Amino acid sequence: MAKTFDYDLFVIGGGSGGVRAARVAAQAGASVALAEESRYGGTCVIRGCVPKKLMVFASEYPGYVEDAQAFGWKVEAGSFDWPAFHDKMHGELDRLEGVYRKILSSNGVETFDSRARVKDPHTVELADGGTKSAKHILVATGGWPVRPDLPGAEHALTSNDVFHLKELPKSILVVGGGYIACEFAGILNGLGVEVTQFYRGAQILRGFDSEARGLISEEMIQRGVDLHLGTNILEMAETEDGFRVKASNGTERTFGQVMFATGRSPNTGNMGLEDAGVKLGRRGEILVDEYSQTNVPSIYAIGDVTDRVNLTPVAIREGMAFVETVFKGNPTPVDHDLIPTAIFTQPEFGTVGLSEEAAREQEPIDVYCTSFRPMQEAFAGRADRVLMKLVVAKESRRVLGCHIVAPGAGEMIQLAGIAVKMGATKEDFDRTVAVHPTMAEEIVTMAEPIRSA
Ligand code: NDP
Protein backbone atom coordinates (compact mmCIF):
# COMPACT_ATOMS: atom_id res chain seq x y z
CA MET A 1 0.00 0.00 0.00
CA ALA A 2 1.32 3.48 -0.85
CA LYS A 3 2.57 5.46 2.12
CA THR A 4 0.26 8.29 3.09
CA PHE A 5 1.49 11.73 4.12
CA ASP A 6 -0.13 14.67 5.91
CA TYR A 7 0.42 16.81 2.80
CA ASP A 8 1.53 16.49 -0.81
CA LEU A 9 3.78 19.52 -0.28
CA PHE A 10 5.26 21.27 2.74
CA VAL A 11 6.88 24.62 1.95
CA ILE A 12 9.35 26.12 4.43
CA GLY A 13 9.49 29.90 3.96
CA GLY A 14 6.74 32.39 3.10
CA GLY A 15 8.63 34.74 0.80
CA SER A 16 7.91 35.44 -2.85
CA GLY A 17 9.11 32.03 -4.08
CA GLY A 18 7.56 29.89 -1.34
CA VAL A 19 4.17 31.60 -1.42
CA ARG A 20 3.96 31.38 -5.20
CA ALA A 21 4.88 27.68 -5.24
CA ALA A 22 2.39 26.92 -2.43
CA ARG A 23 -0.44 28.76 -4.17
CA VAL A 24 0.11 27.28 -7.61
CA ALA A 25 0.55 23.75 -6.23
CA ALA A 26 -2.70 24.11 -4.26
CA GLN A 27 -4.47 25.39 -7.37
CA ALA A 28 -3.20 22.28 -9.18
CA GLY A 29 -5.01 20.15 -6.60
CA ALA A 30 -2.19 19.37 -4.15
CA SER A 31 -2.70 19.49 -0.39
CA VAL A 32 -0.20 22.10 0.77
CA ALA A 33 1.13 23.51 4.04
CA LEU A 34 3.58 26.37 4.56
CA ALA A 35 5.57 27.47 7.61
CA GLU A 36 6.98 30.96 8.09
CA GLU A 37 8.85 31.97 11.25
CA SER A 38 8.78 35.72 10.61
CA ARG A 39 6.49 37.71 8.35
CA TYR A 40 4.75 36.61 5.15
CA GLY A 41 6.18 38.24 2.06
CA GLY A 42 9.80 37.54 3.00
CA THR A 43 12.77 39.67 2.04
CA CYS A 44 11.14 41.29 -0.98
CA VAL A 45 8.02 42.57 0.74
CA ILE A 46 9.16 43.03 4.33
CA ARG A 47 12.84 44.02 4.23
CA GLY A 48 13.89 44.37 0.61
CA CYS A 49 12.53 45.42 -2.76
CA VAL A 50 9.25 46.98 -1.64
CA PRO A 51 10.34 49.20 1.29
CA LYS A 52 13.56 49.97 -0.60
CA LYS A 53 11.65 51.22 -3.63
CA LEU A 54 9.35 53.32 -1.43
CA MET A 55 12.48 54.87 0.08
CA VAL A 56 13.88 55.50 -3.41
CA PHE A 57 10.70 57.39 -4.28
CA ALA A 58 10.88 59.40 -1.04
CA SER A 59 14.52 60.27 -1.63
CA GLU A 60 13.95 61.62 -5.14
CA TYR A 61 11.55 64.42 -4.17
CA PRO A 62 14.18 67.07 -3.32
CA GLY A 63 15.47 66.75 -6.90
CA TYR A 64 11.94 67.10 -8.26
CA VAL A 65 11.44 70.29 -6.26
CA GLU A 66 14.66 71.76 -7.67
CA ASP A 67 13.57 70.77 -11.18
CA ALA A 68 10.14 72.29 -10.61
CA GLN A 69 11.81 75.58 -9.65
CA ALA A 70 13.87 75.43 -12.84
CA PHE A 71 10.63 74.92 -14.78
CA GLY A 72 9.16 78.08 -13.32
CA TRP A 73 7.30 76.81 -10.27
CA LYS A 74 7.54 78.79 -7.05
CA VAL A 75 7.96 75.89 -4.63
CA GLU A 76 10.16 75.14 -1.62
CA ALA A 77 11.28 71.68 -0.51
CA GLY A 78 10.58 72.06 3.20
CA SER A 79 11.86 69.27 5.41
CA PHE A 80 11.53 65.50 5.37
CA ASP A 81 9.40 63.92 8.10
CA TRP A 82 11.03 60.50 8.53
CA PRO A 83 8.68 59.29 11.31
CA ALA A 84 5.61 60.09 9.20
CA PHE A 85 7.07 58.33 6.15
CA HIS A 86 8.34 55.42 8.26
CA ASP A 87 4.90 54.77 9.77
CA LYS A 88 3.17 55.01 6.41
CA MET A 89 5.72 52.66 4.82
CA HIS A 90 5.21 50.06 7.56
CA GLY A 91 1.45 50.41 7.18
CA GLU A 92 1.87 49.51 3.52
CA LEU A 93 4.06 46.51 4.40
CA ASP A 94 1.39 45.32 6.88
CA ARG A 95 -1.19 45.60 4.11
CA LEU A 96 0.95 43.58 1.71
CA GLU A 97 1.65 40.93 4.33
CA GLY A 98 -2.12 40.61 4.71
CA VAL A 99 -2.42 40.11 0.95
CA TYR A 100 0.15 37.28 1.09
CA ARG A 101 -1.65 35.58 3.97
CA LYS A 102 -4.96 35.89 2.11
CA ILE A 103 -3.48 34.36 -1.06
CA LEU A 104 -2.54 31.29 0.96
CA SER A 105 -5.75 30.94 2.97
CA SER A 106 -8.06 31.52 0.01
CA ASN A 107 -6.28 28.77 -1.90
CA GLY A 108 -6.57 26.28 0.94
CA VAL A 109 -2.90 26.32 1.98
CA GLU A 110 -2.58 25.52 5.69
CA THR A 111 -0.11 27.91 7.35
CA PHE A 112 2.03 27.61 10.48
CA ASP A 113 3.46 30.80 11.99
CA SER A 114 6.46 28.91 13.19
CA ARG A 115 10.04 28.03 12.40
CA ALA A 116 10.30 24.69 10.65
CA ARG A 117 13.25 22.43 9.93
CA VAL A 118 13.77 19.29 7.92
CA LYS A 119 13.74 16.13 10.08
CA ASP A 120 14.06 13.54 7.34
CA PRO A 121 13.31 13.39 3.60
CA HIS A 122 9.55 13.39 4.23
CA THR A 123 9.19 15.05 7.65
CA VAL A 124 9.23 18.65 8.81
CA GLU A 125 9.61 19.54 12.48
CA LEU A 126 7.93 22.69 13.80
CA ALA A 127 9.38 24.84 16.59
CA ASP A 128 6.91 23.39 19.14
CA GLY A 129 8.28 19.91 18.45
CA GLY A 130 5.29 18.80 16.37
CA THR A 131 6.01 17.04 13.08
CA LYS A 132 4.26 16.99 9.72
CA SER A 133 4.89 14.57 6.90
CA ALA A 134 4.85 15.45 3.22
CA LYS A 135 5.47 13.71 -0.06
CA HIS A 136 7.60 16.68 -1.13
CA ILE A 137 9.39 19.35 0.89
CA LEU A 138 10.25 22.70 -0.69
CA VAL A 139 12.86 24.84 1.08
CA ALA A 140 12.44 28.53 0.25
CA THR A 141 14.07 30.16 3.25
CA GLY A 142 15.94 32.92 1.41
CA GLY A 143 19.06 34.69 2.59
CA TRP A 144 20.25 37.04 5.30
CA PRO A 145 22.72 39.96 5.32
CA VAL A 146 26.20 39.19 6.60
CA ARG A 147 28.58 41.53 8.41
CA PRO A 148 32.34 41.19 8.07
CA ASP A 149 34.18 39.55 10.94
CA LEU A 150 35.33 42.77 12.58
CA PRO A 151 35.18 43.80 16.25
CA GLY A 152 32.24 46.20 16.71
CA ALA A 153 30.56 45.21 13.43
CA GLU A 154 27.67 43.61 15.32
CA HIS A 155 26.52 47.11 16.40
CA ALA A 156 26.33 48.40 12.85
CA LEU A 157 23.26 48.34 10.61
CA THR A 158 22.42 46.05 7.73
CA SER A 159 19.71 46.64 5.14
CA ASN A 160 17.28 44.81 7.48
CA ASP A 161 17.69 47.53 10.12
CA VAL A 162 17.51 50.66 7.97
CA PHE A 163 13.75 50.35 7.55
CA HIS A 164 13.31 50.41 11.35
CA LEU A 165 15.45 53.43 12.28
CA LYS A 166 13.66 55.68 14.77
CA GLU A 167 15.44 58.66 13.26
CA LEU A 168 17.76 59.22 10.34
CA PRO A 169 21.42 59.72 11.32
CA LYS A 170 23.20 62.95 10.39
CA SER A 171 25.93 60.90 8.72
CA ILE A 172 26.43 57.30 7.68
CA LEU A 173 29.20 55.12 6.34
CA VAL A 174 27.93 52.54 3.85
CA VAL A 175 30.35 49.65 3.33
CA GLY A 176 30.16 47.61 0.11
CA GLY A 177 29.85 48.20 -3.61
CA GLY A 178 27.05 45.85 -4.65
CA TYR A 179 23.34 46.38 -5.34
CA ILE A 180 22.39 47.12 -1.75
CA ALA A 181 25.28 49.42 -0.85
CA CYS A 182 24.86 51.55 -3.98
CA GLU A 183 21.08 51.74 -3.71
CA PHE A 184 21.16 52.80 -0.05
CA ALA A 185 23.98 55.29 -0.58
CA GLY A 186 21.71 57.04 -3.09
CA ILE A 187 18.57 56.77 -0.97
CA LEU A 188 20.13 58.12 2.21
CA ASN A 189 21.94 60.87 0.31
CA GLY A 190 18.61 61.93 -1.21
CA LEU A 191 16.99 61.95 2.23
CA GLY A 192 19.60 64.44 3.46
CA VAL A 193 22.00 62.12 5.31
CA GLU A 194 25.72 62.80 4.73
CA VAL A 195 26.77 59.57 3.02
CA THR A 196 30.27 58.16 2.81
CA GLN A 197 30.71 54.88 0.95
CA PHE A 198 33.71 52.56 1.16
CA TYR A 199 34.21 49.93 -1.51
CA ARG A 200 37.23 47.67 -1.35
CA GLY A 201 37.53 47.17 -5.13
CA ALA A 202 38.50 49.46 -8.00
CA GLN A 203 34.93 50.26 -9.14
CA ILE A 204 31.45 49.69 -7.68
CA LEU A 205 28.98 47.10 -9.07
CA ARG A 206 31.55 44.46 -9.93
CA GLY A 207 30.48 42.20 -12.79
CA PHE A 208 28.33 44.75 -14.59
CA ASP A 209 29.33 46.70 -17.72
CA SER A 210 32.36 48.89 -16.95
CA GLU A 211 31.20 51.95 -18.82
CA ALA A 212 27.84 51.88 -17.00
CA ARG A 213 29.55 51.39 -13.63
CA GLY A 214 31.84 54.34 -14.33
CA LEU A 215 28.95 56.66 -15.15
CA ILE A 216 26.92 55.57 -12.11
CA SER A 217 29.83 56.16 -9.73
CA GLU A 218 30.54 59.60 -11.28
CA GLU A 219 26.90 60.59 -10.95
CA MET A 220 26.68 59.30 -7.38
CA ILE A 221 29.69 61.42 -6.45
CA GLN A 222 28.23 64.43 -8.24
CA ARG A 223 25.00 64.05 -6.27
CA GLY A 224 26.90 64.14 -3.02
CA VAL A 225 27.92 60.58 -2.09
CA ASP A 226 31.48 60.67 -0.75
CA LEU A 227 32.62 57.48 -2.49
CA HIS A 228 36.02 56.00 -1.63
CA LEU A 229 37.18 53.21 -3.92
CA GLY A 230 39.88 50.77 -2.87
CA THR A 231 38.95 51.48 0.74
CA ASN A 232 37.73 49.31 3.59
CA ILE A 233 37.17 49.50 7.33
CA LEU A 234 40.15 48.42 9.41
CA GLU A 235 38.71 49.04 12.87
CA MET A 236 35.53 50.45 14.34
CA ALA A 237 34.43 51.36 17.84
CA GLU A 238 31.10 52.59 19.16
CA THR A 239 31.32 56.07 20.74
CA GLU A 240 28.81 58.50 22.23
CA ASP A 241 28.39 60.16 18.81
CA GLY A 242 28.17 57.00 16.75
CA PHE A 243 31.09 55.01 15.39
CA ARG A 244 34.78 55.90 15.21
CA VAL A 245 36.11 54.25 12.07
CA LYS A 246 39.71 53.66 11.03
CA ALA A 247 39.93 53.16 7.28
CA SER A 248 42.48 51.41 5.09
CA ASN A 249 43.22 54.78 3.38
CA GLY A 250 44.73 56.07 6.62
CA THR A 251 41.80 58.27 7.65
CA GLU A 252 39.93 58.12 10.95
CA ARG A 253 36.44 59.61 11.27
CA THR A 254 33.24 59.41 13.29
CA PHE A 255 29.97 58.51 11.59
CA GLY A 256 26.49 58.62 13.12
CA GLN A 257 25.85 55.12 11.80
CA VAL A 258 27.65 52.42 9.84
CA MET A 259 25.78 50.16 7.46
CA PHE A 260 27.25 46.94 6.10
CA ALA A 261 25.99 45.91 2.68
CA THR A 262 28.66 43.28 2.29
CA GLY A 263 26.62 40.45 0.84
CA ARG A 264 24.02 37.92 1.92
CA SER A 265 24.18 34.28 3.00
CA PRO A 266 21.68 31.48 2.32
CA ASN A 267 19.46 30.65 5.32
CA THR A 268 20.46 27.02 5.80
CA GLY A 269 21.83 27.16 9.36
CA ASN A 270 20.24 24.69 11.79
CA MET A 271 17.69 23.61 9.19
CA GLY A 272 18.45 19.90 9.56
CA LEU A 273 19.40 19.70 5.91
CA GLU A 274 22.77 17.97 6.21
CA ASP A 275 21.31 15.43 8.65
CA ALA A 276 18.60 14.67 6.11
CA GLY A 277 21.36 14.07 3.55
CA VAL A 278 20.92 17.29 1.54
CA LYS A 279 24.16 18.54 -0.03
CA LEU A 280 25.14 22.16 0.57
CA GLY A 281 27.70 24.23 -1.33
CA ARG A 282 30.70 26.12 0.00
CA ARG A 283 28.64 29.19 0.98
CA GLY A 284 25.95 27.08 2.66
CA GLU A 285 23.66 27.23 -0.36
CA ILE A 286 21.45 24.25 -1.17
CA LEU A 287 22.74 22.52 -4.29
CA VAL A 288 19.98 21.80 -6.78
CA ASP A 289 19.65 20.65 -10.39
CA GLU A 290 17.91 22.54 -13.18
CA TYR A 291 14.51 21.41 -11.78
CA SER A 292 15.40 22.79 -8.30
CA GLN A 293 15.67 19.22 -6.98
CA THR A 294 18.31 18.45 -4.33
CA ASN A 295 20.25 15.19 -4.15
CA VAL A 296 17.45 13.93 -1.85
CA PRO A 297 14.67 13.28 -4.39
CA SER A 298 11.74 14.43 -2.19
CA ILE A 299 13.42 17.73 -1.21
CA TYR A 300 13.51 20.73 -3.53
CA ALA A 301 14.78 24.28 -2.98
CA ILE A 302 14.14 27.60 -4.73
CA GLY A 303 15.13 31.25 -4.43
CA ASP A 304 18.05 32.87 -2.60
CA VAL A 305 18.67 29.79 -0.44
CA THR A 306 20.04 28.14 -3.60
CA ASP A 307 22.21 31.19 -4.42
CA ARG A 308 21.64 30.98 -8.17
CA VAL A 309 20.33 34.35 -9.34
CA ASN A 310 19.14 36.14 -6.21
CA LEU A 311 16.20 38.13 -7.51
CA THR A 312 12.51 38.00 -6.55
CA PRO A 313 11.12 37.31 -10.03
CA VAL A 314 13.64 34.49 -10.45
CA ALA A 315 12.53 32.84 -7.18
CA ILE A 316 8.93 33.12 -8.39
CA ARG A 317 9.81 31.47 -11.70
CA GLU A 318 11.71 28.72 -9.91
CA GLY A 319 8.60 28.12 -7.78
CA MET A 320 6.35 27.92 -10.85
CA ALA A 321 8.77 25.60 -12.67
CA PHE A 322 8.90 23.36 -9.56
CA VAL A 323 5.10 23.04 -9.57
CA GLU A 324 5.02 22.33 -13.32
CA THR A 325 7.63 19.64 -12.85
CA VAL A 326 6.33 17.95 -9.71
CA PHE A 327 2.58 18.49 -9.74
CA LYS A 328 1.68 18.95 -13.40
CA GLY A 329 3.81 16.20 -14.92
CA ASN A 330 5.60 18.69 -17.15
CA PRO A 331 9.32 18.71 -16.32
CA THR A 332 10.32 22.36 -16.65
CA PRO A 333 13.91 23.50 -16.20
CA VAL A 334 14.41 27.03 -14.96
CA ASP A 335 15.70 29.39 -17.62
CA HIS A 336 18.34 31.61 -16.02
CA ASP A 337 19.57 33.06 -19.29
CA LEU A 338 19.24 36.75 -20.23
CA ILE A 339 17.51 37.99 -17.08
CA PRO A 340 16.84 41.72 -17.23
CA THR A 341 17.43 43.52 -13.95
CA ALA A 342 17.36 47.02 -12.53
CA ILE A 343 19.52 48.51 -9.84
CA PHE A 344 17.81 51.43 -8.18
CA THR A 345 20.90 53.54 -7.86
CA GLN A 346 20.56 57.24 -8.55
CA PRO A 347 20.85 57.31 -11.56
CA GLU A 348 18.97 54.08 -12.16
CA PHE A 349 20.60 51.21 -14.06
CA GLY A 350 18.79 48.70 -16.25
CA THR A 351 20.74 45.86 -17.77
CA VAL A 352 20.24 42.61 -19.66
CA GLY A 353 22.75 40.20 -21.16
CA LEU A 354 26.50 40.42 -21.37
CA SER A 355 28.68 43.33 -20.36
CA GLU A 356 31.10 44.55 -23.03
CA GLU A 357 33.93 42.87 -21.09
CA ALA A 358 32.19 39.47 -20.89
CA ALA A 359 31.02 39.60 -24.52
CA ARG A 360 34.54 40.39 -25.72
CA GLU A 361 35.75 37.17 -24.07
CA GLN A 362 33.08 35.21 -25.93
CA GLU A 363 33.34 36.47 -29.53
CA PRO A 364 34.16 39.50 -31.71
CA ILE A 365 31.78 42.39 -31.00
CA ASP A 366 30.70 45.86 -32.10
CA VAL A 367 29.83 48.33 -29.37
CA TYR A 368 27.18 51.02 -29.87
CA CYS A 369 27.02 53.58 -27.13
CA THR A 370 25.83 57.10 -26.55
CA SER A 371 25.90 59.31 -23.49
CA PHE A 372 24.05 62.62 -23.35
CA ARG A 373 22.15 65.11 -21.18
CA PRO A 374 18.44 64.41 -21.55
CA MET A 375 16.06 67.24 -22.40
CA GLN A 376 14.31 67.52 -19.03
CA GLU A 377 17.51 67.46 -16.96
CA ALA A 378 19.38 69.77 -19.34
CA PHE A 379 16.55 72.33 -19.21
CA ALA A 380 16.54 72.11 -15.41
CA GLY A 381 20.26 72.87 -15.44
CA ARG A 382 21.30 69.50 -14.10
CA ALA A 383 24.63 68.10 -15.27
CA ASP A 384 23.24 64.51 -15.22
CA ARG A 385 24.09 62.34 -18.19
CA VAL A 386 22.42 59.15 -19.34
CA LEU A 387 23.96 56.19 -21.16
CA MET A 388 22.48 53.82 -23.73
CA LYS A 389 24.62 50.95 -24.87
CA LEU A 390 24.25 47.89 -27.09
CA VAL A 391 26.85 45.15 -27.26
CA VAL A 392 26.43 43.35 -30.59
CA ALA A 393 27.93 40.09 -31.91
CA LYS A 394 29.96 40.99 -35.02
CA GLU A 395 29.05 37.89 -36.95
CA SER A 396 25.42 37.08 -36.06
CA ARG A 397 24.58 40.77 -35.30
CA ARG A 398 22.62 39.58 -32.25
CA VAL A 399 22.35 42.05 -29.40
CA LEU A 400 24.25 40.30 -26.62
CA GLY A 401 23.83 43.02 -24.02
CA CYS A 402 21.82 46.18 -23.45
CA HIS A 403 22.79 48.61 -20.69
CA ILE A 404 20.89 51.76 -19.78
CA VAL A 405 21.77 54.31 -17.11
CA ALA A 406 18.93 56.82 -16.99
CA PRO A 407 15.87 57.90 -15.06
CA GLY A 408 13.35 55.09 -15.63
CA ALA A 409 16.03 52.64 -16.83
CA GLY A 410 14.29 49.82 -14.93
CA GLU A 411 11.11 50.38 -16.92
CA MET A 412 13.03 50.63 -20.21
CA ILE A 413 15.06 47.45 -19.71
CA GLN A 414 11.95 45.38 -19.07
CA LEU A 415 10.88 46.10 -22.66
CA ALA A 416 14.33 45.99 -24.27
CA GLY A 417 14.75 42.67 -22.42
CA ILE A 418 11.98 41.10 -24.53
CA ALA A 419 13.79 41.96 -27.75
CA VAL A 420 17.13 40.70 -26.44
CA LYS A 421 15.53 37.49 -25.12
CA MET A 422 13.93 36.94 -28.55
CA GLY A 423 17.36 37.13 -30.12
CA ALA A 424 16.91 40.51 -31.81
CA THR A 425 19.75 41.74 -34.01
CA LYS A 426 21.08 45.27 -34.13
CA GLU A 427 19.22 45.61 -37.45
CA ASP A 428 15.94 44.66 -35.71
CA PHE A 429 16.55 47.53 -33.29
CA ASP A 430 17.36 49.81 -36.26
CA ARG A 431 14.15 48.83 -38.09
CA THR A 432 12.11 50.03 -35.16
CA VAL A 433 10.96 53.64 -35.51
CA ALA A 434 12.12 55.97 -32.76
CA VAL A 435 9.61 57.31 -30.24
CA HIS A 436 10.26 61.03 -30.21
CA PRO A 437 11.15 62.97 -28.12
CA THR A 438 12.25 60.42 -25.54
CA MET A 439 15.52 59.28 -24.05
CA ALA A 440 14.87 55.68 -25.06
CA GLU A 441 14.77 56.55 -28.79
CA GLU A 442 18.56 56.59 -28.74
CA ILE A 443 18.52 52.82 -28.35
CA VAL A 444 17.25 52.51 -31.97
CA THR A 445 19.21 55.37 -33.53
CA MET A 446 22.85 54.50 -32.87
CA ALA A 447 24.20 54.25 -36.43
CA GLU A 448 27.90 53.46 -36.10
CA PRO A 449 29.79 51.36 -33.57
CA ILE A 450 32.02 53.43 -31.32
CA ARG A 451 34.48 50.54 -31.17
CA SER A 452 34.93 46.91 -32.13
CA ALA A 453 36.79 44.27 -30.22
P1 NDP B 1 26.53 41.81 -3.39
O2 NDP B 1 27.15 40.46 -3.33
O3 NDP B 1 25.95 42.30 -4.64
O4 NDP B 1 27.59 42.89 -2.89
C5 NDP B 1 28.35 42.73 -1.73
C6 NDP B 1 29.37 43.83 -1.70
O7 NDP B 1 30.08 43.81 -0.46
C8 NDP B 1 30.41 43.70 -2.80
O9 NDP B 1 30.72 44.99 -3.24
C10 NDP B 1 31.60 43.05 -2.07
O11 NDP B 1 32.83 43.39 -2.63
C12 NDP B 1 31.47 43.70 -0.71
N13 NDP B 1 32.04 42.91 0.36
C14 NDP B 1 31.85 41.59 0.62
N15 NDP B 1 32.53 41.22 1.73
C16 NDP B 1 33.16 42.32 2.18
C17 NDP B 1 34.01 42.58 3.28
N18 NDP B 1 34.35 41.63 4.13
N19 NDP B 1 34.49 43.84 3.44
C20 NDP B 1 34.14 44.81 2.57
N21 NDP B 1 33.35 44.64 1.52
C22 NDP B 1 32.85 43.39 1.32
O23 NDP B 1 25.49 41.79 -2.21
P24 NDP B 1 24.33 42.77 -1.78
O25 NDP B 1 24.23 42.52 -0.33
O26 NDP B 1 24.52 44.16 -2.27
O27 NDP B 1 23.07 42.16 -2.54
C28 NDP B 1 22.77 40.77 -2.48
C29 NDP B 1 21.97 40.35 -3.66
O30 NDP B 1 20.64 40.77 -3.49
C31 NDP B 1 22.40 40.95 -4.99
O32 NDP B 1 23.45 40.26 -5.58
C33 NDP B 1 21.14 40.87 -5.78
O34 NDP B 1 21.08 39.58 -6.37
C35 NDP B 1 20.05 41.03 -4.74
N36 NDP B 1 19.49 42.40 -4.77
C37 NDP B 1 18.82 42.82 -5.87
C38 NDP B 1 18.31 44.11 -5.94
C39 NDP B 1 17.60 44.59 -7.17
O40 NDP B 1 17.15 43.74 -7.95
N41 NDP B 1 17.50 45.89 -7.42
C42 NDP B 1 18.45 45.04 -4.82
C43 NDP B 1 19.18 44.50 -3.72
C44 NDP B 1 19.67 43.22 -3.71
P45 NDP B 1 33.45 42.61 -3.91
O46 NDP B 1 32.76 43.16 -5.10
O47 NDP B 1 34.89 42.98 -3.85
O48 NDP B 1 33.20 41.16 -3.67
**The domain spanning residue 367 has which CATH number?**
3.30.390.30
Asked if 390 and 443 count as a contact pair (C-beta separation under 8 A), the reply is yes
Q: How far apart are CA 278 and CA 295, in angstroms?
A: 6
Active site residue 436: yes
Query: Is 269 found in the same domain as 136?
Result: yes
Query: Is 131 found in the same domain as 12?
Result: yes
Ligand 1 pocket check for 264: Cβ under 6 Å: yes
Ligand 1 pocket check for 189: Cβ under 6 Å: no
Residue 436, burial from CB neighbour count under 10 angstroms (0-12, 13-18, 19+): exposed
For the beta sheet containing 386-393, the strands, ordered from the edge strand earlier in sequence to the opposite edge, are 341-343, 349-353, 399-405, 386-393, 365-372, 451-452
**What pLDDT is recorded for position 20?**
98
- Domain's final residue, options 274, 297, 327: 327
Q: How far apart are CA 211 and CA 61, in angstroms?
A: 27
Query: Is 273 found in the same domain as 256?
Result: no
Instruction: Indicate whether 2 belongs to any domain.
Output: no
Query: Of the listed 86, 136, 403, 436, which one is catalytic?
Result: 436
Query: Is 115 found in the same domain as 29?
Result: yes
Task: Give me ligand 1 centre to Cα 449, in Å.
Answer: 32
Ligand 1 pocket check for 299: Cβ under 6 Å: no
Among 147, 180, 213, which is best to mutate for testing ligand 1, by the most ligand atoms less than 8 A from CB? 180
Instruction: Indicate whether 299 belongs to any domain.
Output: yes
Query: Is 132 found in the same domain as 29?
Result: yes
Asked if 181 and 199 count as a contact pair (C-beta separation under 8 A), the reply is yes
Dihedrals phi, psi of 161, to nearest 5 degrees = -85, -25
Query: Is 286 found in the same domain as 372?
Result: no
Residue 263, burial from CB neighbour count under 10 angstroms (0-12, 13-18, 19+): middle
**What pLDDT is recorded for position 1?**
59
Full residue range of the structural domain in which residue 130 is found: 7-144+265-327
Query: Is 158 found in the same domain as 67?
Result: no
Instruction: Indicate whether 332 belongs to any domain.
Output: no
Instruction: Indicate whether 118 belongs to any domain.
Output: yes
Ligand 1 pocket check for 177: Cβ under 6 Å: yes
Query: Is 366 found in the same domain as 318?
Result: no
Instruction: Indicate whether 447 belongs to any domain.
Output: yes
Task: Give me ligand 1 centre to Cα 182, in Å.
Answer: 9
Among 150, 160, 179, which is best to mutate for testing ligand 1, by the most ligand atoms less than 8 A from CB? 179
Look at the chain and report how many structural domains it folds into: 3
Q: How far apart are CA 96 and CA 103, in angstroms?
A: 11
Ligand 1 pocket check for 180: Cβ under 6 Å: yes
Task: Give me ligand 1 centre to Cα 169, in Å.
Answer: 23
Q: How far apart are CA 144 and CA 237, in angstroms?
A: 24
**What pLDDT is recorded for position 114?**
97
* Ligand 1 atom at minimal distance to the Cα of residue 343: 41
Query: Is 210 found in the same domain as 299?
Result: no
Query: Is 346 found in the same domain as 319?
Result: no
Query: Is 137 found in the same domain as 11?
Result: yes
**What pLDDT is recorded for position 334?**
94
Task: Give me ligand 1 centre to Cα 220, in Å.
Answer: 17
Ligand 1 pocket check for 230: Cβ under 6 Å: no
Please identify every stretch of the chain with a pLDDT value under 50, giving residue numbers as ranges.
none
Ligand 1 pocket check for 176: Cβ under 6 Å: yes
Query: Is 11 found in the same domain as 119?
Result: yes
Ligand 1 pocket check for 351: Cβ under 6 Å: no
Asked if 256 and 167 count as a contact pair (C-beta separation under 8 A), the reply is no
Instruction: Indicate whether 334 belongs to any domain.
Output: no
CATH number for the domain spanning 174: value is: 3.50.50.60
